[in-house]
Each structure stands twice: as C-alpha cells, then as structure tokens.
Chain A
C-alpha cells in the first residue's frame, strides 16, 4: 500500500482549506459582544438591561446615578477587560510559538515579574513624590510613567531570557531558566518591599491582586494605544510566526531572519504584557490558557487566524472572569487575579482531557 501511494492515489479527496470556517470567528465575536453587555448589566447595583443599552448608546437615562455608574465605572472596566484579555492572550500565543513550548506565557517566563519589578521600582521608590498615591495624582503623566516602567521591566526580563535562549536549544531548560529569572525578579521585589514604608507596600500589594477597575479616563486611552501598537506588531508578525512552527532551522532555510522575529516578538510582548500588567496588576493564566483554547476551537495553527481569534477568546474569558469577580448582587469584589486562575484552569484541563491528544493543543 505504501509503495503505491504515488500520483494516482487519493484524487477523490477535496483539497483542504487553509482558513478555518469564518462563521466561527463571527460566532466568537457575537459571544464577546454578549458578555460585554452582560458585564455592563451585572454589578453590585441593579440596573435594567434597557437602561444600560440606552446609556451605552448615548441616549442617557433619567437616573443620574445609573448613568454615572455605567459610563464612568462599568464601561471603562469592561473595555479594560477586553483590552487586557486580548493583549495577554496574543502575547501568550507569540511566546508559545517563539519558544515552541506549550507552557510559555507572560507569567511563566517572568515577563509579568519583570513588569512588576518596573512598577515596584516606581511605587516603592523612596520619596513622597513617587509613591503610588502621588502617581495616581499625576494622572496622564503618571500613567505613562507606570506603563514605561512596567514595559521596560518586562522587556528587561525577556531580553535576559532570550539572550539565554540563544545559547540553549532545549525548551525545557529554557523554561526553567525563565522561571528562575522570574524568581530572581520577585525576590528583588521582596527585598525592596522589606526596606519600604508600610503604606507603599500596601499600595503595591493591592496592585498585585489585580484590578480592572482602576483604569479610568486618560489611562484607558494610554492603555488602549499601547496595546493597539502591540497588537499591530503582533499581527504583522503572523506570517513569520507560522514559519517558526517549523523550527528555527527550517525558518532560516526559508530566508527568514529569526533574529528579526525574536526582536519583534520581544517588543510586542513587552508592550502588551508590560502595559496590561502595569495598569491591571499581574494577571496570570490568561496568557497561557487562551492560546490553547483558541487552537482547539479553531483547529488551526495559522497565526493569521489565531491572532484575532485569541483576542476574542481572551476578551470573552476576561469578561466572564470580571462578571464572576463582581459577585453580582453582592457588595464585594474578588481580586481578578484569583478569579482568572480559578475559572480558567479547569477550562484548560477540560479541553486537554477532551482532546485526549495533548500534542494537538500544544504549540
């Protein structure tokens, strides 16, 4: 049979399509819109669905408190959830392809830790002018300061990991190195905390719980702009990332500059994970889980489709987590960082168990 598998065989098979079914992406978009609206409707204060829609569409509402809650709290928070979900997912997707490792992601390889270091340096730096409260007062300029600090911190750690990646070909070793670099970063923060004022530490600790609610006004524009830039770079790298699936040797033989791709991915991931971490705190899990979920939903490895779909799946998951974190009907809010892992981990376990074949969900 093997000997006869020449040209005459299999002519009745239709040629496979390179692109997944587009209606899947439309469906994902619809689901994202649904959860976006749900996130606006649910909260500690009960607001009817109709009024929420009216307020969102700019028709206003008779209830001034509702209008304030929706436009100044819920809409920014939901938008932040969408932005953060998309950014973390896309950065995770790129890391998994670049490192050819299913466990890669911004939090595992120490990028979040790097961003935390950047934020800690700003927040914990001695001197009244630089404490967290002061930064909040700084408004626009301060938010830039946090973004720059966290992005630089993320880029710094990623550069260390990647400079080691040049010498080490083994993915597992590299992953361990990444985790170690992350640990070093975290211990640096601990030492810094040890010598800091209690108020500064408290601010920093609250930041580490993660929050989607703190990004308001100008800060939202800053976050959106930085993430948009990061996503643009990532989307442009889709073709190269597809080739990276073959491994670096094949990529090079196809005339691709692997150094260029590495730099592109470092830049994009630092911008995406760094800025989101800076504003929302170190949100774990999304970066690792969403790429796996997306791959298994779309059943493709083509980054031209995985990128936008990861954005959508990431946004959906983040919105769901935010809805749960609100504990609708109650006055309490859970830290988002805890919810993402609590909700997301079982989802990923379920997907992997369902597929049986672990490889198919791996990068």
Chain B
C-alpha cells in the first residue's frame, strides 16, 4: 500500500466573513462563512497524478488554496504526511508541498536558472547561497522539465509554454513530495499542453511525486490522470446550490456513468463511448453510412458537423457508402429517391451534393 501523502477529512472550504459570523453569533445561529464545498474526503497517494475538474466558479482554486494552506478551511482538516496542516510551520509546509500558480512572473533580468534556484529557498541559509547539492537539484529540475535549452534566458523572453515548464522546474527544485498546479495548461497551445502533461506524468511515475492539477480540459484529464476529482455543482432539495465532489479513476467514472451524469446535469452532452463532449445536435435528421475504417470515421465526423445523426445502416434509402480501393477513395451517395447513386471523390463534394439536394427538396 502506497503512502497517503495528502488527506482531507470532512473538509469544508469557502470564505470566512468575520462580520457575518459575528452577526450570526449574536442571533444565536451557527455560521461558518460562505461555504463553497463541504464534506470533502480526499486522498492523494504517492506517485499519482490527479486532475481536478470543474466548471468555472465551482471552487477549484479555493480547494487548491486550502490544500496548500494559503486559505484556512471552514471545517474539517487537511493532513500532509499524517500531520495536520495547521500544525506545520510555513517552512515545513514549503518542504512538503510546492505550488505552480497562474500568477505571471515577468520580472526583467531574472534568468530561468536564477528563478528555478529560488525554489531552494526553504533549504538555503540566511544569504541564500546554494550548496553544490542545491545546485545539483536545480540542474536536475531543469533537465527533467526540458528547460535546459533556455536556462540562461531571461524569464520575460520566454513563450507561455516555456515559462510554464520553468515554473514547474521551480516547484521541482523545491523538492517536495506533493506538487499542486493551478491550471498549468491554460493559455497554452496543444503541443505545449501535451508537453506539460507529459512532464507531470513523468514526475509522478519516475520520481513518485504526488501531483494535483486543476484543469478545464476533460480530454487531457481522461487520458493522463490516475484519478479525477470532479467538482460538480448540484442544486439540493432545499433549492440551495452546492458542490458535489466526485472522485475516482477516469475509466471507472466514465463506465459507471457518473461523469456523464455530472456533465448532463450541467447541460452538456457527454459521449460515454468516445469519452468526449457532444457539440453537435441533429436538426437535419439521420443519414445512413456504410463503410469501415478511418475513411468512414471521418466521413461520419463531417456529416455530424453539418447536422446529421449518422446511423450504420445499409438498408436506409438515404445513405452514403464509402469504399477505399487501394488508395482510390469513393463515396456513393443515395439520395433516397432514385436507386442510382452519385459517385464522388472527396468529402467536400459529398457535403456539397447533400446540401444541394436538401435545397432542391425545400423548393419542391
């Protein structure tokens, strides 16, 4: 059994409001503050990458801040390595848990190397001089995150993706078993997003780091996360808004329908088969598709995009047959009236013909 590094017991997160608390006390009521989410029982295991999902305003950042000890919990407790967070000193916490925030560090003249070296702050003496060991850890962090190429650059000269990796390197130099990242993939393009997640996976797998990252990207989370914490807004019986925390392995959450349920509640279609969101609705009705392989898949995508529900049905009079004869691609379009198909050579043509025949129907 791997060790539990981070553990929350009946945690309630939210905001203290001294004035309201005092007022409630005056009237003999119990009031803790503005509760964002409560009854959170979470475990972070060694070597696990956890993705924290949830819509805007669901309290992801609040949870992150509470786990990091930056914000006080409204109730319950957070423990790091079995010790309660509030009993740890700031220095002790800094040796157990590091952060990657959304704050942009744009300081001029601060080189990547110097920035990563600042991660050694909790370990160095009063002047902050690095020992050879410290320096080795800093170099290791830079190497692991693939930032060596621009180690001598100024932080202000880097692209967003490069900067994010540098901030991860800094957290790594802090040498903590737990790393929390607040939306590390926001504002990054796809290759950089993948690169960042790869680095995090590598850290979890090879160095046994426990990592929690908050993100909006379900696709990425489903592929990369060992565990998903999903904060899902629900409206309780008394009409009060609340947050339900769903925690589990991504595949399990998909298979037992909990993920689908959570997203459906929020008005977003979730396709259990492909593990992605449904963008498309089907105002145009259904169309049959015959064929197999990649060609059929992308034809289906194109048809869905223009508003059709695609069914695999060879008997439908309104259908498309796709074939690939040694590189010669062919689409046969049956418009449902004549039994003679129209033969086409590319998807663009297919779409044009379908749209054309629809228009003709409207006039007829």
A residues whose Cβ falls under 8 Å from a Cβ of B: 2-3, 5-7, 9-11, 13, 15-16, 18, 100, 236, 238-239, 242-243, 245-247, 249-250, 252-257, 295, 299-302, 304, 357, 359-363
Residues of A within 8 A of B154 (CB): 360
Binds A, one of B106-114, B246-254, B347-355: B106-114
Enumerate chain B residues within 8 angstroms of A2, measured Cβ to Cβ.
161, 191-192, 195
B194 near A3: Cβ-Cβ < 8 Å: yes
Q: Could you say which residues of chain B place their CB within 8 Å of the CB of A239?
A: 121, 124, 126-128
Complex CA–CA separation, A18 to B117 (angstroms): 9
Which residue of A13, A252, A255 is within 8 Å of B148 (Cβ)?
A: A13
**Which residues of B lie under 8 Å from residue A7 when comparing CB positions?**
143-144, 146
B115 at the interface (CB under 8 A from A): yes
Q: How far is the CB of B194 from chain A (nearest CB, A)?
A: 7
A16-B152 Cα distance, complex, nearest whole Å: 5
Looking at the complex, which one of A249, A250, A253, A361 makes contact with B108 (CB distance below 8 Å)? Answer: A361
Q: How many whole Å from B144's CB to the nearest CB in chain A? A: 7
Can you list the 5 inter-chain pairs with the closest CB atoms, starting with the nearest?
A255-B94, A239-B128, A10-B149, A16-B152, A301-B109
Known: A239-B127, A246-B115, A250-B105. 4 other contacts (CB 8 A): A243-B121, A247-B103, A249-B99, A360-B154
Q: Would B107 and A301 count as touching, CB distance under 8 A?
A: yes
A-B contact pairs, 7 of them (CB 8 A): A10-B149, A238-B127, A246-B118, A253-B68, A253-B94, A360-B154, A361-B108
A363 and B107 alpha carbons, distance in the complex (Å): 6
Chain A residues closer than 8 Å to B108, beta-carbon distance: 295, 301, 357, 359-363
CB-based nearest B residue for A241: B128
Q: Do B127 and A15 touch across chains, with their CB atoms under 8 A apart?
A: no
Query: Given A249-B101, A300-B109, A254–B118 Cβ distance below 8 Å?
Result: yes
Given A2-B192, A3-B194, A11-B148, decide whether A250 and B110 contact each other with a Cβ distance below 8 A: no
Residues of B within 8 A of A252 (CB): 70, 90
Question: Nearest chain-A residue to B156 (Cβ)?
Answer: A359
Residue of B nearest to A306 (CB): B109
Q: Which of B282-315 contact A (CB under 8 A)?
A: none
B130 at the interface (CB under 8 A from A): yes
Are B149's CB and A9's CB within 8 A?
yes
Asked if B332 is at the interface (CB within 8 A of a chain A CB), the reply is no
How big is chain B's contact interface, by range? 35 or more
**CA–CA, A361 and B106, complex, Å:** 12
**Is B119's CB within 8 Å of the partner chain A?**
yes
Binding site for A on B (CB under 8 A): 68, 70, 89-95, 97-99, 101, 103, 105-111, 113-115, 117-119, 121-122, 124, 126-128, 130, 139, 143-144, 146-149, 151-152, 154, 156, 161, 170, 174, 191-192, 194-195
Most buried by B among A100, A238, A239, A254: A254
How distant is the Cα of A249 from the Cα of B161 in the complex, in angstroms? 21
| A13, B151: Cβ atoms closer than 8 Å | yes
Distance in angstroms between the alpha carbons of A10 and B106 in the assembled complex: 24
Query: What residue in chain B is nearest A100 (Cβ atoms)?
Result: B107
Q: Report the minimal beta-carbon distance from B123 to chain A, rounded to whole angstroms.
A: 10
Q: Is the CB of A5 within 8 A of B146?
A: yes
**Cross-interface CB contact of A5 among B114, B119, B149, cutoff 8 Å:** B149
Most buried by A among B68, B108, B115, B170: B108
Which of B101, B124, B146, B174 has the most chain A CB atoms closer than 10 A to its own CB? B146
Contact residues in A for B119 (Cβ distance below 8 Å) = 254
CB distance A16 to B151 under 8 Å? yes
- A250–B99 CB distance below 8 A: yes
Task: Chain B residues near A249: list those with CB within 8 A.
Answer: 70, 99, 101, 103
A7 to B202 CA separation, bound complex (whole angstroms) = 11
Interface centre among A18, A246, A253, A257, by most chain B C-beta atoms within 10 angstroms, is A253
Bound complex: CA of A256 vs CA of B195, how far in Å? Answer: 31
Task: Identify the interface centre among B109, B114, B118: most chain A CB within 10 Å of its CB.
Answer: B109
- Contact status of A255 and B151, CB under 8 A, knowing A5-B146, A300-B109: no
Chain B residues near A236 (CB, 8 Å)?
126
Residue of A nearest to B144 (CB): A7
- What chain A residues lie within 8 Å of B109 (beta carbons)? 295, 299-301, 360-361
Q: Is the CB of A304 within 8 A of B105?
A: no
Residues of chain A within 8 A (CB-CB) of B117 are 18
Least CB distance, A359 to chain B, in whole angstroms = 4
CB closest residue in chain B, given A6? B146
* CB-defined contacts of B147 to chain A, threshold 8 Å: 5
In whole angstroms, what is the CA distance A361 to B115 when docked? 17
In Å, the complex CA distance between A361 and B156 comes to: 11
Which single member of B113, B118, B144, B194 contacts A243 (CB below 8 Å)?
B118
Among B106, B111, B128: residue with most chain A CB under 10 A: B128
Q: Which residue of A13, A295, A361 contacts B149 across the interface (Cβ within 8 Å)?
A: A13
Nearest A residue to B119 via CB reads: A254
The docked-state distance in angstroms from the alpha carbon of A238 to that of B95 is 21
> When the two chains form their complex, are residues A247 and B156 in contact, meaning their CB atoms are under 8 A apart?
no
- Closest residue of chain B to A235 (Cβ to Cβ) is B127
Given A6-B146, A18-B117, A255-B121, A245 and B195 touching (CB < 8 A)? no
Residues of B within 8 A of A238 (CB): 127-128
Residues of chain B within 8 A (CB-CB) of A246 are 103, 105, 107, 115, 118, 170
Contact A302 B122 (CB under 8 A): no
Compute how far the CA of A357 lies from the CA of B144 in the bound complex, rounded to whole angstroms.
30
Is A245 in contact with B113, judged by CB distance below 8 angstroms? no
B149–A16 CB distance below 8 A: no
C-alpha spacing A95/B144, complex, angstroms: 36
Q: A253-B68, A254-B174 are in contact. Are A10 and B107 (CB under 8 A)?
A: no
Chain A contacts for B195, CB-based, 8 A: 2-3, 5
Whole-angstrom CA separation of A104 from B132 in the bound complex: 36
Partner of B94, one of A254, A302, A359: A254
Task: Report how far A301 CA is from B95 CA in the complex, Å.
Answer: 25
B110 & A257 in contact (Cβ 8 Å cutoff): no
Residues in chain B near residue A13, CB distance under 8 A: 148-149, 151-152
**A15 and B149 contact, CB distance less than 8 A:** no
A residues less than 8 Å from B93 (CB atoms): 255
